[in-house]
């Protein structure tokens, strides 16, 4: 689609989507309270007339207050992972499920996969959207799909090898864990994987490079959230420079979370999304709390759907330590530069005499310790220096044996806050 085609399609779909949302009890009253009627929305330029939707709205409307169709038309529901409280339920009609599969197939195809590829989904199935979401998309493309699910690392490796899997989907933290388990007696490169679709949690460019080197594959960042179906919202093309966000299905805004006004193009703000094609449960101007920016300019791949940058984090992920704002990604970036360290880490926050303390727990990479305590001490001092430079205060470092920190099968829990 050209820009013009995308934008006129967005206008049509926004009008439809708002009218559809108004059929749900929750939006009917929310629009009324806000003083807006579906008829006030005539094109995409009217988006600012609509109220935002927050996680709190989803909680208030739980379980079915935002359902906009006869329950008979619902064929599926999912929930968000509920890492920040009670889960929220999302509903789909048959057509919604088909559209989602089409978006997901589009992502996988964009990466370069075809029906000839063999795909293993290492993501949890069930209510979590990373299972069925990727599954339906890959099947739509005609791929041979192995629904391995999460965990059971030895079996994952066995299946990849025996069935000559070429593409996998996982969280980056789990993909790292699998690679490191293999390094105990084998080489992840020997698996012959070509494509890694890694997402569902934030990770840095440095983590991507490390995964690419370990496996010898190409990593495609995959972004989505259950409120917007799940995966299939934004995905990288082979340029690996920002994720194309499917604007025929989502209206995209990036706002300043304080003023709620759009940020200047290219600046970081909160991503706000409106579903344009969903019928069972349209969501209007959803405040994702994810922080990103538009990648300015046309993508050399030729697609005209906007690109968003790798997530900087969530606004509620930001740590305030001794009054300094720190994102876990800033710590990850430094750790990944150190070849003597593995890919897993934990950030622990505690208090000592009323002063915040940050301890970063890292693991030695397999075979990295050459027996010289002296060189280990130097490497550690260099890590401490770089972390201090990154955050502006001293950080304690604990170096653990390879494989000794808790590994995750899904979204990693990177921060443990014991300051209370
Ligand atoms: P869920 O509620 O389980 O669907 O989780 C959605 C959330 O996961 C998003 O709002 C993001 O905070 C996070 N997420 C998903 N994909 C990515 C990604 N590629 N990079 C960073 N964060 C992500
Ligand atoms: Zn592109």
Whether 287 and 274 have beta carbons less than 8 Å apart is answered as no
Whether 237 and 244 have beta carbons less than 8 Å apart is answered as yes
User: How far is it, in rounded angstroms, from Cα 305 to Cα 302?
Assistant: 9
Burial 258-285 (b: 16+ CB within 10 A, else e): eeeeebeeeeebbbbbbbbbbbbbbbbb
Whether 283 and 272 have beta carbons less than 8 Å apart is answered as no
Task: Give pLDDT, residue 351.
Answer: 94
225 lines ligand 1 (CB under 6 A): yes
Ligand with the closest atom to the CA of 245: 2
200 lines ligand 1 (CB under 6 A): yes
290 lines ligand 1 (CB under 6 A): yes
317 lines ligand 1 (CB under 6 A): no
Whether 281 and 68 have beta carbons less than 8 Å apart is answered as yes
User: How far is it, in rounded angstroms, from Cα 280 to Cα 283?
Assistant: 10
SS3 content of the chain, % helix, strand, coil (to 5): 35, 25, 40
Compute the distance from residue 86 Cα to the ligand 1 centre, in Å: 16
**Of 123, 175, 202, 232, best ligand 1 pocket probe by most atoms within 8 Å of the beta carbon:** 202
User: How far is it, in rounded angstroms, from Cα 179 to Cα 111?
Assistant: 21
User: How far is it, in rounded angstroms, from Cα 201 to Cα 252?
Assistant: 20
171 lines ligand 1 (CB under 6 A): no
Cα-based torsion angle of the residue sequence 245, 257, 274, 138 in order, rounded to the nearest 10 degrees: 40
226 lines ligand 1 (CB under 6 A): yes
Q: Tell me the torsion sign for CA atoms 264, 265, 271, 277.
A: positive
Q: Whose CA is nearest to atom 20 of ligand 1?
A: 202
User: How far is it, in rounded angstroms, from Cα 28 to Cα 36?
Assistant: 10
Helices 373-391, 328-336: axis angle to 10 degrees equals: 150
**Cβ partners under 8 Å of residue 119, min gap 6:** 108, 113, 134, 138, 143, 144, 145, 146, 165, 166, 167, 168, 169
Query: Which residues are paired to 307 by β-bridges?
Result: 244, 295
User: How far is it, in rounded angstroms, from Cα 354 to Cα 241?
Assistant: 43
311 lines ligand 1 (CB under 6 A): yes
Task: Give pLDDT, residue 86.
Answer: 72
Ligand with the closest atom to the CA of 222: 1
Whether 147 and 131 have beta carbons less than 8 Å apart is answered as yes
223 lines ligand 1 (CB under 6 A): yes
Helices (H) and strands (E) in the chain, counts: 10, 21
Task: Give pLDDT, residue 420.
Answer: 78
Task: Give pLDDT, residue 82.
Answer: 66
Give per-10-residue mean pLDDT for the chain (420 aa): 97 98 98 98 98 94 96 96 75 98 98 98 96 98 98 97 98 97 95 98 96 98 97 98 98 97 97 98 97 97 98 87 92 96 97 94 92 94 97 96 93 92
Whether 169 and 392 have beta carbons less than 8 Å apart is answered as no
User: How far is it, in rounded angstroms, from Cα 46 to Cα 285?
Assistant: 12
Q: Are strands 396-400 and 355-364 parallel, antiparallel or unpaired?
A: parallel
Q: Whose CA is nearest to atom 3 of ligand 1?
A: 81
Provide the 10 A C-beta neighbour count for residue 231: 28
User: How far is it, in rounded angstroms, from Cα 165 to Cα 143?
Assistant: 11
Q: How far is CA 332 from CA 134, 304, 312, 343, 353, in A?
A: 27, 32, 12, 9, 27
């Amino acid at each position: 689609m050209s820009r013009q085609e995308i934008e006129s399609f967005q206008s049509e779909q926004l009008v439809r989507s708002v009218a559809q949302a108004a059929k749900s009890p929750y939006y009917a009253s929310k629009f009324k309270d806000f003083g807006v009627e579906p008829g006030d929305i005539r094109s995409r330029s009217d988006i600012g007339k609509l109220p935002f939707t927050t996680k709190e709205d989803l909680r208030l409307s739980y379980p079915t207050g935002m359902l906009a169709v006869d329950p008979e038309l619902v064929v599926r529901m999912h929930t968000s992972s509920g890492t920040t409280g009670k889960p929220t339920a999302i509903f789909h009609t048959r057509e919604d499920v088909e559209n989602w599969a089409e978006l997901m197939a589009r992502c996988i195809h964009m990466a370069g996969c075809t029906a000839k590829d063999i795909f293993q989904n290492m993501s949890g199935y069930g209510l979590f959207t990373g299972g069925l979401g990727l599954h339906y998309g890959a099947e739509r493309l005609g791929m041979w799909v192995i629904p391995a699910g999460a965990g059971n690392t030895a079996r994952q490796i066995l299946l990849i090898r025996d069935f000559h899997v070429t593409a996998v989907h996982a969280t980056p933290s789990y993909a790292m864990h699998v690679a490191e388990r293999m390094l105990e007696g084998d080489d992840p490169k020997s698996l012959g994987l070509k494509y890694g679709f890694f997402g569902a949690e934030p990770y840095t460019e440095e983590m991507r490079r490390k995964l690419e080197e370990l496996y010898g594959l190409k990593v495609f960042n995959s972004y989505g959230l259950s409120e917007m179906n799940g995966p299939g919202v934004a995905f990288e093309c082979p340029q690996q420079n920002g994720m194309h966000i499917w604007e025929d299905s989502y209206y995209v805004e990036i706002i300043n979370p304080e003023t709620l006004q759009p940020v200047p193009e290219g600046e970081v703000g909160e991503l706000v999304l409106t579903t344009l094609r969903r019928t069972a449960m349209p969501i209007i101007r959803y405040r994702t709390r994810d922080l990103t920016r538009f990648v300015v300019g046309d993508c050399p791949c030729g697609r005209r759907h906007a690109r968003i940058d790798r997530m900087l984090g969530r606004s509620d992920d930001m740590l305030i330590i001794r009054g300094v704002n720190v994102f876990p990604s800033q710590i990850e970036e430094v750790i990944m530069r150190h070849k003597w360290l593995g890919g897993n880490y934990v950030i622990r926050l505690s208090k000592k005499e009323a002063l915040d303390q940050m301890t970063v727990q890292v693991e030695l990479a397999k075979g990295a310790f050459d027996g010289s305590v002296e060189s280990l001490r130097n490497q550690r001092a260099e890590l401490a220096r770089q972390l201090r430079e990154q955050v502006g205060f001293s950080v304690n470092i604990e170096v653990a044996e390879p494989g000794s920190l808790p590994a995750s099968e899904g979204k990693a829990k990177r921060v443990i806050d014991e300051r209370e």
